[in-house]
A = this chain, B = another copy of it.
Amino acid sequence: MIVSTSALLDFLLQTRTQTETICKPLQIEDYVVQPIVDVSPPKWHLGHTTWFFEDFILKKYKSDYKEFDKQFAFVFNSYYESMGARVVRTDRGNLSRPTVEEVYAYRKYVTSALENLLQENDISKELEELIEIGIHHEKQHQELLLTDIKYILGNNPLQPVYSSNFNEYKTISKDAEWLSIKEGIYEIGHNDSGFCYDNELGRHKIFLQEFQISSELVTNAEYLQFIEDGGYDQVLLWHSEGWDWVKNNTISAPQYWQKQDGKWFCYHLNGVQKLDLEAPVTHISYYEAFAYAQWKGLRLPTEFEWEIAQSKFDWGQRWEWTESAYLPYPNYTKAPGALGEYNGKFMVSQKTLRGGSVATSENHTRATYRNFFHPQLRWQFTGLRLAR
């Protein structure tokens, strides 16, 4: 909960600036392309987070607001189908216009209008909450921006550096320990006055069996053993659809790993580096995380186990795949109207991830935060923690 309008304004302006700071190292060309359907052009992220404020806030709450460009709603809308026709996701990379310069002008125009709106009197509770959602929405896109940029540059044959200062990980030099949690009734869900998404609400009791969870993420060294033991060729380690995914896409290592003259290298935002064995493994799909756990004779934690145990270990380097499917909590209700499309409409066929990553914006994640992706995706900084 934001204590004052001026604090809210500061938070807003910091967030808007931060998005642009992330894009600083880019060439104009980098803003435009969409190499796979899950990656959006950086230009689109810049426009979409702006459109969100314009459409949900300025057009409704600022009486004198004049829309920047009517067609932008069409271009920068995403999955909010009830808001009008949208640019189909796979078409985003075909659009050279509006230009990057025009998109920045759009950002400036909307940020300014928001600033004016917040400097007026009488900010209602409802409006304050919408602005807060807009800020957190933009923070979510900051993470996507970074991972989409990594995909765009890392899959270019020239493999250009994004920023030589960007460090993707801290090494794991300690041995992992098993942390034990007793069986019993626990409470799950958001519990304080800070911001959270609707999918974290409805704090409720669950029963957990006794379990143990690792104090550390799985490392590159450990994952390499799985590869060298032929893990990608042992059908019994995999889900049926995971096996099809491995075979159809000839997967044999995490994304961004590359072998040159018998040695493993890895593309990072600071360029191609020798594979660091003490780094936490990343850019793996749920299928790979599961197969690795099978190979070890262990398993992934559920999201509930993770939430209850999380205070006992460090987290935040990698989004951690859980065994849980992304489903509504008991008594979950979608917000009415278009905002209700935010989370609920994705609650099928996806897995929950917990934690956060090196690309997550500051203060954006928390112990109850639920991220979710389809099981084959690996362009995020995903990782893996074992349980038993």
Residues of A within 8 A of B (CB): 27-35, 43, 71, 74-75, 79, 81-82, 87, 91, 93-100, 152-153, 155-158, 160, 183, 185, 204-207, 209, 211, 235-236, 238-243, 286-287, 290, 299, 323-325, 327-328, 330-331, 334, 337, 340-341, 345-349, 351, 375
Contact = CB atoms under 8 A, between A and B. Distances in A.
B323 A235 contact: no
Given A32-B33, A239-B346, 12 more contacts: A29-B96, A29-B99, A33-B95, A96-B156, A205-B209, A211-B330, A236-B334, A236-B340, A236-B341, A241-B348, A348-B375, A349-B375
A207 B209 contact: no
Contacts of A341: 236, 240
B235 A82 contact: yes
Contact of A28 (B29, B243, B328): B29
A345 B239 contact: yes
A242 B348 contact: yes
Contacts of A242: 348
Contact of A185 (B207, B240, B375): B207
13 contacts: A29-B31, A31-B96, A32-B96, A35-B94, A71-B158, A75-B158, A82-B236, A94-B156, A96-B153, A209-B330, A236-B341, A239-B345, A299-B328
Nearest to A326: B325
A100 to B, nearest CB: 6
Interface centre among A79, A97, A183 (most CB of B within 10 A): A97
B34 A94 contact: yes
Given A34-B94, A209-B331, A345-B238, A157 B75 contact: yes
A346 to B, nearest CB: 6
Contacts of A34: 94
Nearest to A374: B349
B94 A235 contact: no
A23 B287 CA distance: 39
A373 to B, nearest CB: 12
Contact of A93 (B33, B81, B235): B33
A327 B330 contact: no
A100 B29 contact: yes
A345 B291 CA distance: 11
A107 B35 CA distance: 26
A30 B299 CA distance: 44
A346 B347 CA distance: 19
Nearest to A80: B235
Contacts of A327: 323-325
Contacts of A286: 348
